[in-house]
Amino acid sequence: MFRFSHIFICIPLLAFINCNQAPAEKIKPNIVFLLADDLGFGDVNFIGGATETPNLNRLAEEGLFFNNFYSAGPNCSPSRAGLLTGKTPEKVGIYSYRPSHHPMHLPDQEITLAELLKTKGYQTAHFGKWHLGALARDPQLNHPQPSQQGFDYSFGTESNAVPSHHNPKNFVRNGNALGVIDGYACQIVANEGIDWLNQRNQKAPFFMYFAFHEPHAVVASPQELVDKYQDQPEKDAKYLANIDHLDMAIGRILNYLEQNDLIDNTIIMFSSDNGSYRVASNGGLRAGKSSLYEGGIHVPGIIRWPEITTEKKVIETSAGLVDIVPTVCDLLQIDPPKNLDGTSILPLLRGEPFERSKPLYWFFYRTVPEIALRVGNHMVFGLDNDTVHRTHQYALKDAEYISSMTLKDYELYNLKDDFSQQKDIFKNHPEKDTLKALIDNQLIEIQSNLYPWKELPELLESRQKVKTGWAAFR
Q: Where are the beta strands (DSSP E) in 39-187?
A: 64-70, 123-129, 153-157, 172-173, 176-177
- 147 and 286 assigned to the same domain: yes
Q: Are 72 and 265 in contact (CB under 8 A)?
A: no
pLDDT value for 417 = 97
- 246 and 391 assigned to the same domain: no
How far apart, in whole angstroms, are the C-alpha atoms of residue 193 and residue 126?
Answer: 9
pLDDT value for 158 = 98
Quick check: is 237 in a domain? Answer: yes
**Side chain identity at residue 119, one-letter code:** T
Q: Are 147 and 176 in contact (CB under 8 A)?
A: no
| 380 three-class SS | strand
Burial profile 301-323: b = 16 or more Cβ within 10 angstroms, e = fewer: bbbbbeebeeeeeebeebbbbbb
- 250 and 164 assigned to the same domain: yes
pLDDT value for 21 = 52
**Cα 215 to Cα 63, 84, 111, 162, 254, distances in angstroms:** 24, 21, 29, 13, 20
- 194 and 269 assigned to the same domain: yes
How far apart, in whole angstroms, are the C-alpha atoms of residue 35 and residue 251?
Answer: 14
pLDDT value for 386 = 84
Instruction: Show Cβ contacts of residue 60 under 8 Å, excluding neighbours closer than 6 positions.
Output: 44, 46, 302
Instruction: Show Cβ contacts of residue 4 under 8 Å, excluding neighbours closer than 6 positions.
Output: none
**Cα 423 to Cα 293, 379, 418, 448, 468, distances in angstroms:** 13, 12, 7, 33, 19
How far apart, in whole angstroms, are the C-alpha atoms of residue 33 and residue 88?
Answer: 19
| 379 three-class SS | strand
Look at residues 378, 366, 447 and name the one whose alpha carbon lies nearest to residue 406.
447
- 315 and 209 assigned to the same domain: yes
| Domain's final residue, options 314, 349, 384 | 349
- 443 and 330 assigned to the same domain: no
Extract the residue ranges of the chain whose pLDDT is less than 70: 1-25, 459-463, 470, 472-474
**Cα 67 to Cα 240, 298, 304, 312, distances in angstroms:** 22, 9, 15, 12
- 344 and 412 assigned to the same domain: no
Supply the DSSP symbol for 356. Answer: -
pLDDT value for 458 = 83
Distance of CA 429 to the CA centre of its chain: 32
Kindly report the CATH number assigned to the domain that includes residue 415. 3.30.1120
How far apart, in whole angstroms, are the C-alpha atoms of residue 282 and residue 48?
Answer: 10
- 326 and 404 assigned to the same domain: no
Quick check: is 356 in a domain? Answer: no
Give the range of the structural domain holding residue 448, as residue numbers without chain letter. Answer: 361-470
State pLDDT tens for residues 281-336.
999 999 999 999 999 999 999 999 999 999 999 999 999 999 999 999 999 999 99
Number of domains in the chain: 2
pLDDT value for 24 = 55
How far apart, in whole angstroms, are the C-alpha atoms of residue 87 and residue 89?
Answer: 6
pLDDT value for 4 = 29
